[in-house]
């Protein structure tokens, strides 16, 4: 799963608004006896292993099983069924993940398969289901009435719930000088996670910049076109109205790679700088970001680094 050939192949999927979803089961819920499917982007999964011996940690969160030693690295282990309200018949598999600058493991009942999907098979579900822990619903067999459904978990939110940071969300003393935009211009931001949107909003407010927040790449793209049309009636350009686009990579309907390409391939928007802000870190993703024409890349979530990146890109 981690061979360079697999990574290269999976990275190439982003050129066509596609990705791979790792499916697993957590048990049953209070609402159903069915063992529903859940999913996480393959790029966040480092390895899968049978459940090893876990050392309990005194005073830890109820959803934390303890820690495990993986080749000399001490990794926290989260009881994922418990964290999302499922009842498991046994935690047999450990899913080790890397995202948002950290390594952690999730105990699950059973792994299912890896499926290759187009992002338009994934619909935003955050506002209606999951209590903020589900960002979207993936239609695994396409747009049919009988398609299997998988819940795409907001693992960043789950991690924050179980292992909260003691640091403030935004340290205003580290932000530096206010970011200056041209008069009448805003930053257009897109992220499907409510946690990420909250952190981005706090960061941009601390920077002193006006912004428009959207939930998907598709919504951001439609908003950008509407802004362009309005600007034209005023004898202005889209760039007069949007100083910069800040986008996540993983989003239902349209991902950040596709949004970036759409912007850079459209004469109305090509000069608008795009910064990708993602929990998917590593040189493979960063190289691909450059390939789609993004002007900057910053890993989630350190507000000072986001501010520094935005300043650098705007100064070009």
Tens digit of each residue's pLDDT, the chain (316 residues):
444 455 455 555 655 778 899 999 999 987 777 889 999 999 899 999 999 999 999 999 999 999 999 999 999 999 999 999 999 989 999 999 998 888 999 999 999 999 999 998 999 886 555 567 898 999 999 878 889 999 999 998 999 999 987 777 788 888 888 999 999 999 999 999 888 899 999 999 999 999 999 999 999 999 999 999 999 999 999 999 999 999 998 888 999 989 999 999 999 999 999 999 988 765 555 565 666 789 999 988 888 999 999 999 999 8
CA dihedral 222, 224, 230, 233 (to 10 degrees): -110
Q: How far lies 173's CA from each of 38, 247, 255, 258, 300, in Å? A: 40, 25, 33, 35, 19
- State how far the Cα of 23 lies from the Cα of 109, in Å rounded to an integer: 11
Tokens standing for residue 47: 């390895």
SS3 content of the chain, % helix, strand, coil (to 5): 35, 30, 35
Tokens standing for residue 312: 């650098």
Produce one character per residue of 105-121: b if its CB has 16 or more CB atoms within 10 Å, e if not: bbbbbbeeeebebbbbb
- State how far the Cα of 282 lies from the Cα of 271, in Å rounded to an integer: 27
Alpha helices in the chain (DSSP H): 4-13, 80-84, 155-162, 172-175, 194-207, 217-233, 238-241, 256-264, 283-291, 303-315
pTM for the predicted model, two decimal places:
0.85
Residue ranges of domains in the chain, CATH in brackets: 14-162 (2.40.50.180), 186-315 (3.40.50.2300)
């Amino acid at each position: 799963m981690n061979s360079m050939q697999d990574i290269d192949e999976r990275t190439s999927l982003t050129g066509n608004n596609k990705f791979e979803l790792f499916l697993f089961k957590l048990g049953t819920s209070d609402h159903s006896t069915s063992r529903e499917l859940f999913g996480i982007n393959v790029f966040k999964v480092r390895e899968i292993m049978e459940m090893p011996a876990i050392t309990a940690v005194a005073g830890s969160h109820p959803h934390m099983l303890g820690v495990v030693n993986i080749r000399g690295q001490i990794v926290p282990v989260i009881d994922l069924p418990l964290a999302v309200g499922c009842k498991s018949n046994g935690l047999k598999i450990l899913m080790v993940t890397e995202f948002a600058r950290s390594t952690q493991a999730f105990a699950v009942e059973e792994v299912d398969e890896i499926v290759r999907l187009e992002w338009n098979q994934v619909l935003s579900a955050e506002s209606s289901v999951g209590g903020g822990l589900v960002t979207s619903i993936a239609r695994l067999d396409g747009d049919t009435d009988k398609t299997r459904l998988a819940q795409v978990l907001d693992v960043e939110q789950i991690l924050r719930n179980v292992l909260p940071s003691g640091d403030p969300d935004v340290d205003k003393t580290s932000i530096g000088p206010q970011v200056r935009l041209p008069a009448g211009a805003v930053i257009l931001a897109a992220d499907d996670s409510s946690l990420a949107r909250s952190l981005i909003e706090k960061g941009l407010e601390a920077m002193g910049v006006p912004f428009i927040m959207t939930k998907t790449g598709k919504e951001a793209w439609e908003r950008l076109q509407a802004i362009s049309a309005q600007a034209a009636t005023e004898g202005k350009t889209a760039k007069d109205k949007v100083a910069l686009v800040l986008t996540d990579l993983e989003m239902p309907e349209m991902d950040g790679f596709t949004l970036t390409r759409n912007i850079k391939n459209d004469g109305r928007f090509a000069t608008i700088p795009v910064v990708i802000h993602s929990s998917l870190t590593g040189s493979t993703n960063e190289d691909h970001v450059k390939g789609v024409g993004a002007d900057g890349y910053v890993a989630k979530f350190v507000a000072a680094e986001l501010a520094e990146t935005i300043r650098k890109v705007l100064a070009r």
